[in-house]
Amino acid sequence: ETGVTQTPRHLVMGMTNKKSLKCEQHLGHNAMYWYKQSAKKPLELMFVYSLEERVENNSVPSRFSPECPNSSHLFLHLHTLQPEDSALYLCASSQDRGREQYFGPGTRLTVT
């Protein structure tokens, strides 16, 4: 399934690095999402973009910075992360909020 792609699939970064996660959806959807999936915790919604505008930011630390340049692309810029930020970061898209979401494979992030 290639509806939602994410790169890179794995990322190891130091606490002082700056990196970006990329998500692309090929489904013609108008809403995109970033989630954090940690072991033994429910999926945490981080950011929501609808029609390329950020509509929700669930109290995410400023070291995570999203960007949505168009309806098909979503980025998550990372800087000065902490080890507890190590997790699987999932991107999803949907045709309108509240409809079923389609997920990418995720980026496995390890902060050392």
E strands present in the chain: 4-7, 10-13, 18-25, 31-37, 44-50, 53-57, 64-70, 73-79, 87-94, 102-103, 107-111
How far is residue 48's CA from residue 54's CA, in Å, rounded to a whole number?
A: 6
Question: Which one of 16, 41, 69, 70 is in contact with another protein (CB under 8 A)?
Answer: 41
Residue 25 binding another protein, by CB under 8 A: no
Question: Which one of 51, 56, 61, 112 is in contact with another protein (CB under 8 A)?
Answer: 56
What is the CB neighbour count within 10 angstroms for residue 75? 17
In degrees and rounded to multiples of 5, residue 83 shows phi and psi of -55, -30
**Shortest separation between residue 100's beta carbon and another protein, angstroms:** 5
Residue 59 binding another protein, by CB under 8 A: no
Residue 75 binding another protein, by CB under 8 A: no
Q: Which one of 16-24, 42-50, 64-72, 77-85 is the stretch in contact with another protein (CB under 8 A)?
A: 42-50
Binding site for another protein (CB under 8 A): 1, 33, 41-43, 45, 48, 56, 90, 92, 96-106
